[in-house]
Amino acid sequence: MKPTLLVLAAGMGSRFGGLKQMEPVGPNGEWLLDYSVRDASRAGFAKVVFVIRPEMETEFRAMTEAKYSDQLEIAYAFQEKSDIPIPVENLESRVKPWGTGHAVYAARESLQSAFAVINADDFYGAEAFEELARFLEREETQSQQETYALVGYRLANTLSPHGTVSRGICRSDEDGNLLSIEEHSEIGRTDDGAAILALDAAGQPVELAPDTLVSLNCWGFPAGWANRLEPLFKKFLEERAHEPKSEFHLPAAVHALVSTGRAQARALPCNAQWFGVTHREDLAETRAALRKLAER
């Protein structure tokens, strides 16, 4: 079966101040998502599944079906805080769903083939989807020690000149095996542009090299992998459901499965330039970059 593209589009866009997934950024009013769907279709993906919030459905479904129905099969999944494998107390007091791992879990019934996971509001470049398509066709992806993939980007290609960003800092061995991902926040260049500073997971200031490999939530998984999340999600809920802002992160789920020895993860370096709209001020530069891309 040809692979599926899973698009995480349920985010609130709180720092941006609106639904940035549906913001026109291309020279003809394209969304960033339009480029991802087109590039994935050209790379050999046959289906796209959008994870959205129920209140987005009417408008989002109408617009995406008009745009993409002639390119690939379309399906929708809903990320709701009540979609959990065990009951938890005080669920009504929680505002948001349970994070990126939960978003993949929410789409479990629509993922019958090997699949890639991306954010709706990032521009990944055609190279990323070509790498993922090749990876998802390999036998090792489905073997007994199944293999996952993370497309990693060079940190310098993912910064915003208009404010700091958060990134998962990747560590891999010389053979390309992914060893860890540690979330860093407040990442940005110094005023003179000479260095890139950040806060690590413990909140301590660190300096990062420009070619540091970072995660932008661009993953590849074997068929049926979303079902592997249920026992991990249950454990998370048992331990942290009482925390109103706790999140079941996708990288943490990958790490938990790899640590058992029954799975491994590969880092696939990508030299493409990332475009995104973390801050509203990023819009002008993203539009200019996409206009140049269209001209080329």
| Mean pLDDT, rounded, of the chain | 88
Percent of the chain with pLDDT over 90: 51
| Residues in contact with 82: Cβ distance below 8 Å, sequence separation at least 6, in sequence order | 91
User: How confident is the model at residue 149, as a pLDDT?
Assistant: 94
Task: Burial-class residue 135 by CB neighbours within 10 Å (0-12, 13-18, 19+).
Answer: buried
> Mean pLDDT across the stretch 82-90?
91
> Mean pLDDT across the stretch 235-263?
90
Half-sphere exposure of 183 (CA within 13 A, CB side): 12
When mean pLDDT is compared over 26-30, 101-105, 144-148, 269-273, the highest value belongs to 101-105
Least confident among 11-25, 93-107, 163-177, 227-241: 11-25
Q: What pTM does this model have? A: 0.89
Can you give the CATH number for the domain in which 280 is found? 3.90.550.10
pLDDT range class, residue 96, cuts 50, 70, 90: confident
Phi, psi of 36 (to 5 degrees): -65, -45
Confirm if 137 and 46 have CB atoms less than 8 A apart.
no
pLDDT range class, residue 20, cuts 50, 70, 90: low
Range of the domain at 61: 4-295
Give the whole-angstrom CA distance, residue 12 versus residue 96. Answer: 9
pLDDT (tens digit, 9 = 90+) per residue, 162-219? 888 888 899 988 888 998 888 899 999 998 888 999 999 889 999 999 999 999 999 9
User: How confident is the model at residue 32, as a pLDDT?
Assistant: 87
Number of domains in the chain: 1
Judge whether residue 17 has pLDDT over 90. Answer: no
> Which two three-digit tokens encode residue 135?
């990876």
